[in-house]
Structure 1
Amino acid sequence: MGARTLIVTNDFPPRPGGIQAFVHGLACRLPPDSVVVYAPRWKGCEGFDARQPYEVVRHPTTLMLPTRAVAARAAALVDDGATVVFGAAAPLGLLAPALRAAGAARVVMLTHGHEASWARLPVAGALLGRIGAGADAVTYLGDYTCRRLAPVVPEAKLVRLAPGVDTAVFRPGTGRDEVRRALALGDRPVVVCVSRLVPRKGQDMLIRAWPLVLRRVPDAVLLLVGGGPSRAALERAVSRLGLRGSVVFTGSVPWAALPAHYAAGDVFAMPCRTRLGGLDVEGLGIVYLEASATGLPVVAGSSGGAPDAVRHGETGLVVDGRSSGDIAHALAGLLADPARARAMGERGRAWVEREWNWESVAARFAGLL
């Protein structure tokens, strides 16, 4: 066996999230004996790791920083002549020189939304430039993140690598009836949002827009799938607006159950918005592509690279995530016109199958290695 590829990442299942799914998807498409993953511990990781066909080495804590201890543990996993992949360039990419000294021949760094934010700040941007200097290739998700990275990372190193979607897993109708029965949704029109409950994702704006949606579609339900620190505030907002009968929280759900929760909806919405002066921004939004693969029209916020995952007017609508009126208009319009919504979903499914399939992504990734 030749030198293995070492993936060093803070973002890996069973911790939920889009970056985690992306890095896991890449690892799963390498030959099992050619890869080892070094990642933090997370609740349930023992069972998850046992199901993987490749080796997963867990750090003792739930977060890895570019310290000497982490460098030493990672260096011990580097085969001579290996390629090292950082699941997110910042901050662990600072370990690149130590891993080259341990025998790594090539370093590939993935970037996401937070690196695009780092590039805007003088000190963080300089640090990101230092990280990029230690790489042979730095990936970006789309046009937005590329523009942000270009001032601090040499253009010759920048390579597009966006997530893929498993269209056999995310497909129309899968598990729809079971989830609707379990949540007592019946045949009511459903807008579903699958995402972590944090301000940037826009669940608060969905709730604020919901009374406007109900004026046009009185029996509609808003289904919020996911957990997160904003849940208590969101539930208070639901009570304050008298929406308890039309907003459903599921909390966190297992990965395997996510496709069915998408399919339970008629429209997908995550009206993300940029916050903190541009520092809290959406890098892409894999959830839009998963929803499209499930055959749903999507309503996306205009934050960062989110519009790269939607064809406005074809697979969904891009709205101002800060405007409850814009959000309500888009949602009510799609719910009130099922034929239009269905056509958008069908176009979205075809687009994902054609341009966001994992086979193409895996081939690009293999080329980088």
Structure 2
Amino acid sequence: MPRTLIVTNDFPPRRGGIESFVRALADRLGDVVVYTASMPGDGDVDATLPYPVVRDRSGTLLPTPRVRDAVVRTLREHGCDRVLIGSSVPLGLLAPALRAAGARRVLAVTHGHEVWWSRLPGTRQALRRVGDGVDVLTDISDWTRAQIGKALSDAGRARQTRMAPGVDTDRFRPGCGGVDVRASLGFDDATPVVVCAARLVRRKGQDMLIDAWPRVQRAVPGARLVIVGDGPYRSRLEQRAGRRGVADVVTFAGSVPWEQMPGWMDAADVFAMPSRSRLLGLEPEGLGIVFLEAAACEKPVVVGRSGGAPEATDDGVTGHVVDPRDPDEIARRIVELLTDRAAAARMGALGRERVLASWQWDQVGATARRLLDLPPAA
């Protein structure tokens, strides 16, 4: 029977969109072995998993000779003949060695950060080598496909295939814990709540939500902004809320365990993340799985016009795409959704229908199986 080796830096207990993506695939590919980095708390996570996890001694995997030899040894010792590389660069550079060691099929996943690899001379060549060395190079959006494709050879572009992330619609659904989250924050059912869940970095747009909030407050008195997540930008965001005079209506929830995230999405009336591209376009939003998770909870979404993020919603139907540097536009769209509850409810319902039709993890898992030439799931 075929067995798949997953090689990745992005795996629990680390949390994030890529980690969720790789874990969801590992759970759906059947007979797998994971080779990943060491990180605090990894033993507790690994003990709960139904498949072997081999931890490298380093905290970050790079395609060095030592890591190459360790990954090849794992492939052989566990009898793997397929390989899924959880993030295409730089670990996709291991593909030729893995193929020489017996891998019949090598699939490398892209997420969005590969866009900046595609634009700088040295990294552009590395990405081109990955495209030439694997059997399949996936993309998460039409936008990232086009940008990454500029760095690839004709043969590499021919290997590009769509495999966007998905959502566990049983976990992310209406009524999945929002009442309890609201109660823990001291909000009642009538409190207008906007949630943003993302790492606290400048690119994700929490600063623009804070700048928009005085305008939201004037139109919707009592509206609350809940910022979920942590990161290096937190202290500046807290100071910004103070300067804008909204510190009393902006809640910084901090980092939330992965298993509790559905409830925080469900607590929202509107989900908003006006992410923006930075560093002359080298830092875009590849897609934004949080928009899909919120939509699965029947929440209308406000999406920043950055990279492939607009593809995560149907503009004007399941949410709104906004200029991520315009607090007035951001505020206007949020106010529309908070004051026209019927329209917001229609958008939310259509958003869940859209996720159910095309953005479920089982559908993504079936795509990965096909690309790896694995039999369909039983």
User: Which TM-score band (shorter chain)?
Assistant: over 0.9
What residue identity is the alignment partner of 2:197?
A: V
Matched residue count: 366
Output the CA distance in 2 between the equivalents of 1:279 and 1:7: 27
Q: Which runs of 5+ in 2 are unaligned?
A: 373-378
Output the CA distance in 2 between the equivalents of 1:319 and 1:119: 26
Aligned to 2:120: 121
Aligned to 1:221: 224
Output the CA distance in 1 between the equivalents of 2:336 and 2:178: 22
Q: Is the CA contact 1:267–1:335 (under 8 Å) kept in the aligned structure 2? A: yes
Which deviates more from structure 2 when the two are superposed, residues 68-77 or residues 167-176?
Answer: 68-77
Output the CA distance in 2 between the equivalents of 1:4 and 1:362: 15
Aligned to 2:296: 293
What residue identity is the alignment partner of 1:244?
A: A
Aligned to 1:179: 181
Aligned to 1:67: 64
1:36-185 residue pairs with structure 2 within 5 A? 36-79=33-76, 82-153=81-152, 154-185=156-187
Q: Is the CA contact 1:284–1:305 (under 8 Å) kept in the aligned structure 2? A: yes
Aligned to 2:235: 232
SS of residue paired to 2:113: helix
SS of residue paired to 2:10: coil
Q: Give the C-alpha shift of residue 98 in structure 1.
A: 2.1
TM-score (norm 2): 0.94
1:302-341 residue pairs with structure 2 within 5 A? 302-341=305-344
Q: Is the CA contact 2:5–2:80 (under 8 Å) kept in the aligned structure 1? A: no
Q: For residues 168-226 of structure 1, give each alpha carbon's deviation from its aligned partner in whole angstroms, at most 9, with x where no partner exists.
A: 00001211111111111223100001111111111111111111111101100000011
SS of residue paired to 2:247: coil
Does residue 192 of the first structure (1) align with residue 190 of the second (2)? no
Q: Is the CA contact 1:81–1:105 (under 8 Å) kept in the aligned structure 2? A: no
Q: Is the CA contact 1:190–1:267 (under 8 Å) kept in the aligned structure 2? A: yes
1:347 is aligned, of 343, 346, 350, to 350
Q: Give the C-alpha shift of residue 3 in structure 1.
A: 4.3
SS of residue paired to 1:6: strand
What residue identity is the alignment partner of 2:225?
A: L
Relative to structure 1, the CA distance from residue 54 to residue 81 in structure 2 (aligned partners, 3 Å threshold; closer, same or farther) is closer
Q: Give the C-alpha shift of residue 43 in structure 1.
A: 2.5
Aligned to 2:376: none
What residue identity is the alignment partner of 2:49?
A: Q
Output the CA distance in 2 between the equivalents of 1:218 and 1:58: 51
Which deviates more from structure 2 when the two are superposed, residues 290-299 or residues 40-49?
Answer: 40-49
Output the CA distance in 1 between the equivalents of 2:57 and 2:290: 30
What residue identity is the alignment partner of 1:293?
A: A
Q: Is the CA contact 2:138–2:163 (under 8 Å) kept in the aligned structure 1? A: yes
SS of residue paired to 1:245: helix
Output the CA distance in 2 between the equivalents of 1:246 and 1:365: 44
Output the CA distance in 2 between the equivalents of 1:81 and 1:51: 22
Aligned to 1:5: 4
Q: For residues 54-74 of structure 1, give each alpha carbon's deviation from its aligned partner in whole angstroms, at most 9, with x where no partner exists.
A: 111112232111111211211
1:251 is aligned, of 239, 249, 254, to 254
Q: Which runs of 5+ in 1 are unaligned?
A: none
Deviating runs (4+, > 4 A) in structure 1? none
SS of residue paired to 2:239: helix
Q: For residues 147-169 of structure 1, give each alpha carbon's deviation from its aligned partner in whole angstroms, at most 9, with x where no partner exists.
A: 11222332220110011111100
